[in-house]
Amino acid sequence: TETFVGHQVLRIIPTSDEELQKVQELQDLEDLQLDFWLEPRGLGLPVDVRVPFPSLQPLKVHLEANGISYSIMIEDVQELLEQEQTEMLRSSRRG
């Protein structure tokens, strides 16, 4: 089973055409292994992207270097997954 320890989901809200363009270009950087949960759609619309741990630093440096602000929507994806699994187990025991 694939684990997602250290993966984060960043939320980027492009506020200019230039920022939107930069974010769209991220989709072509295959080596970063980015998983766009919400793809770039338009100005003011959130872009949510799951970032594997090894790509976190390079991506954050890239965003900051281009003056693109972001927030961290999910600090650690694996932690949420484990909560989800725990909840499912609890439910099946209840059943």
- Report the interface residues with another protein, using CB under 8 A: 1-2, 4, 9, 11, 30, 35-42, 45-46, 48, 50, 73-74, 77, 80-81, 83-84, 87-88, 90-92, 94-95
Among 73, 35, 70, 38, residue whose Cα is nearest residue 52: 35
Counting every residue written for the chain, the total comes to 95
Least CB distance from residue 11 to another protein, whole Å? 6
Least CB distance from residue 23 to another protein, whole Å? 12
Least CB distance from residue 25 to another protein, whole Å? 15
Q: Which two tokens stand for residue 17?
A: 């055409």
Among 38, 34, 30, 26, residue whose Cα is nearest residue 8: 34
First to last CA, the chain: 25
Using the minimum distance from each CB to another protein, give the nearer residue, 30 or 65. 30
Using the minimum distance from each CB to another protein, give the nearer residue, 56 or 81. 81
Residue 12, SS3 per DSSP = strand
